[in-house]
Amino acid sequence: MSTNNEQHTLVRTLALGILSGGRSATPLAVLALNHDRSALKGSWQQWKVFATPLGRGLLVASAVGELIGDKLPKTPNRISPTGLIGRVASGALAGAALGTTGKRDLRIEGAILGGVGAIVGSFVGWAARKAVGATGLPDPVVALAEDAATVAGSVKVITGD
């Protein structure tokens, strides 16, 4: 049976996956920005995408690009096959990274939970955005609220205890 610390880590990996369903690049960018945080010590900090300034910069630039691109009218739907695959990959990477921060290496479990969370987050986010949009709020306003929730949630999951 898992210890409380392992369960906490796994819940956090699932939460990051769900957040990846909203904005795929945001959880990875928040990890990149917290690369040197001692409370997040794990082997993920040595992975090239997180260990190099170029890798971290690309992750942050991707997140900024996604935040901008999401507001464009021709942006594909998050539950389209291509969009969903990217979100699952992002959630799995974020989950695997966070899975290395505990006493026991949970990168496989973290990757699985992160990927599953991304699927859940994609469909729930898509449905919520459609429902809120049906109230008459302009889509960019709904998208900005989703941006804020995803950024704040990612920061809380990654930096909170």
Per-residue model confidence as pLDDT tens for the chain (161 residues)? 467 888 999 999 999 999 999 999 999 999 999 999 998 999 999 999 999 999 999 999 999 999 999 888 888 889 999 999 999 999 999 999 999 998 899 999 999 999 999 999 999 999 998 899 899 999 889 999 999 999 999 999 999 85
On whether the CB atoms of residues 59 and 2 are closer than 8 A, the answer is no
Query: Can you give the pLDDT at residue 161?
Result: 57
* Residue 159 counted as domain residue: no
Instruction: Say which residues have a Cβ less than 8 Å from residue 13's Cβ, sequence separation at least 6.
Output: 94, 95, 96, 98, 99, 106, 109, 110, 111, 113, 114, 117
The answer as to whether 156 is a domain residue is no
Single pTM value for the model: 0.93
pLDDT value at residue 2: 60
Total domains in the fold of the chain: 1
Give the pair of three-digit tokens for residue 110. Answer: 């973290």
| Residue type present at position 115 | G
49 within a domain of the structure (yes/no) = yes
Residue 34 structural domain: 4-150
Q: Residue 127's pLDDT is what? A: 94
Q: Is residue 87 part of a domain?
A: yes
pLDDT, residue 74, reads: 85
Indicate whether 132 belongs to any domain.
yes
Q: Is residue 121 part of a domain?
A: yes
The pLDDT value given to residue 43: 95
Residue 92 located in a structural domain:
yes
Assigned token pair, 17: 């996956």
Q: Is residue 155 part of a domain?
A: no
